[in-house]
Structure formats: structure tokens, C-alpha cells
Amino acid sequence: MNSNTDKDTILITGANGFTGKHACKHFTASGMKVIAVVRKENTPVVHADQVQICDLTDRAQVHQLIRKTMPNYVLHLAGRNAVQDSWTDPIGHMDANVMATLYLLNALRDYPDCRIVVAGSMLSFTLNENPQPLHPYSLSKTFQMLAAQSWSHLFQQQVMVARPSNLIGPGYSNGLCGILAKKAVRIERGVENTPFRLSSLIEQRDYLDVRDVVKAYAHILLYGTPGTVYPVGSGSNRTILEIVKAFELLIEQPLPLEVGHIEGYVPPKPLDLALINALGWRPEISFETSIADILRFYRTES
């Protein structure tokens, strides 16, 4: 941040989303002027100095947004992230994840000192001569990350890419932990006891608290090297069974499950966090604390 009396301005897209809400809170507390970008009017945003309405898939609106706000920093979180929906509307996901990113980066070419972080995904894949994406969402995030890196190289923009793992923590989320937390609360209250279907209990994923990932984004914005992709996670993989057991421990009763079976499962390697660690970032919130905070949130909000 600048040392003068003027606040640096950060533009946060997707400000009303799961990560966006935490990002607005963090950067407001850090002393930045936060401009929250949302798609619809009358969207409530807490912890923002200003709210801007913008359809990021509309090139003219994006250019107008950037000319109006002239940010020092941009955290691009907006996009579509529903894997299942990407099968029925693959072009919509391309528009929201790829074209919106390109419109934003192109509009920021007039502000070469602006530092930009694009939030990618661990579900992207490595491009080769025989690409085999798992779903259209994966394809859209791969193109998004490639576009961000390429724009940094082609136009000498200060664009960094973050590649976060599975984000958990307090707030509304459609991720596995959020879904299980809602289920656990209903079971705890005795209003539901139908089994929850899981593909297996042995699959492993890296889980990171959303509050920690926001701090990682801040480190990348301030200290990251343009054109670099930064994997961000806890560095440890956990099985779905561990997630289930964590919730069962807190509600003091078993979750009714219907578990499938997968053949030949190969667990992923732990994330290499050397790049983000070199910027001075480490995760601070334990997995157990994250799970407890998720459950507390849904107990309060449900």
C-alpha cells in the first residue's frame, strides 16, 4: 500500500460471493478503499466503501467501470463455478469465466501500474496435445488462467493468478462442507434423517479456510511476480471420511450416509506451496476450527 494519506483502491469482483464477502472485510480492515462489484442492483454488500453494478460479460460496462474507479489493485473473484451447470450451459461458463476476465484485463491496459489477481481453480488442467478436461467448467477455468498469464506477457500487465484448493469456512457455500453442515444442523434439530449420498469416503482433497485464502490473495497482490501462477492451499489432503467424522464429533451423533464405490482411485499429491510461502504466507486457521465455524454459521443462519 502507499505510505501517503490517500488510500489505495482495490476493486473486488464477485464481492457478494462466498470469498468476496470475506475479501471485502479483510481489505477494509487493512485500510484500503474497497469498491465492491456486483451484478445486480440492490445487492447488499457489507464492508465496502462503494458498490458498483456491472455485468462483467458486457465489454462496454467493464470499460466504463474501470474508467470510473481507476483502481490500484483488482481482485477478480467473479465467475461461475457450478460444475454440474457447466454441462447444460458451457457457453455461459465461457462467457462468465473467460470473456469477462479478458474484458476486465483489456480495460485495465490503460492502468499499467494496477496489480491484478485472477482467482483460478485447482480443477483446471494442463494443456497438451491431447487435452481431456473433466467438464466444461474445468475447460473454462483453464482458458481463464491461460488468458491471464498471456495478457501479463503480451501487454506487460501486472497480472498474477491464484490457484486455490477447496475453500471452506463460515458463509453460504455450495461446497461439500457447506452441504454437510446444513445436513448436520437439520439432523441435530431432528427435522431430517434421510441419508446423504456420497460417491465414496476415500477421495482426498486439500481444504483451506476462506479467510486464509483472502490473506494469500493480499500477499500475491502486494508481493507477487506478474505472470506467475500461485497454488494456494493447506498443503495437506483429507479424505471425505475425515470431513464426515469432524461434523459427527461436533453434533455428537452419526450422519446418515449412502456411500458409493469408486474403482482404482489414485489420491492427488499434496500441493506444492513453495511459491506462495516465499511471499511470506502460511495458513493460520486449523481444519478443526474451520469446520466448527461452518457449523456455527449454519446453526445461526438456518
Do domains 9-164 and 176-203+238-268+287-301 share one topology? The answer is: no
Which residues, other chains included, contact 213 with Cβ-Cβ below 8 Å and sequence gap of 6+?
A: 19, 162, 164, 167, 232
Within the chain, where are the H helices?
18-29, 59-69, 83-88, 90-94, 100-107, 136-155, 176-188, 210-223, 240-251, 274-277, 287-301
Predicted local confidence at residue 128, as pLDDT? 63
Across 273-298, average pLDDT = 98
- Return the pLDDT at 5: 45
The answer to whether residue 10 scores a pLDDT higher than 50 is yes
pLDDT of residue 43: 85
CATH number, domain 9-164? 3.40.50.720
**pLDDT per residue over 221-245, tens digit each?**
999 999 999 999 999 999 999 999 9
Beta-carbon neighbour count of residue 289 at 10 Å?
Answer: 13
At 166-175, the pLDDT tens digits run 999 999 998 9
pLDDT computed for residue 126 by the predictor? 67
> CA 109: distance to chain centroid?
24
Higher per-residue confidence, 130 vs 116: 116
Q: All 3 cell numbers of residue 139?
A: 475447460
Residue-wise pLDDT tens digits, 195-226: 999 999 999 999 999 999 999 999 999 999 99
What's residue 42's pLDDT? 84
- Locate the domains of the chain by residue range: 9-164, 176-203+238-268+287-301
- Residue 127 binned pLDDT confidence (cut-offs 50, 70, 90): low
- Count Cβ atoms below 10 Å from residue 77 Cβ, excluding itself: 23
The pTM of the full predicted model, rounded to 2 decimals, is: 0.94
* 176-203+238-268+287-301: CATH topology: UDP-galactose 4-epimerase; domain 1 (3.90.25)
pLDDT digits (tens, 9 = 90+) for 144-178: 999 999 999 999 999 999 999 999 999 999 899 99
The residue among 135 and 240 whose pLDDT is bigger is 240
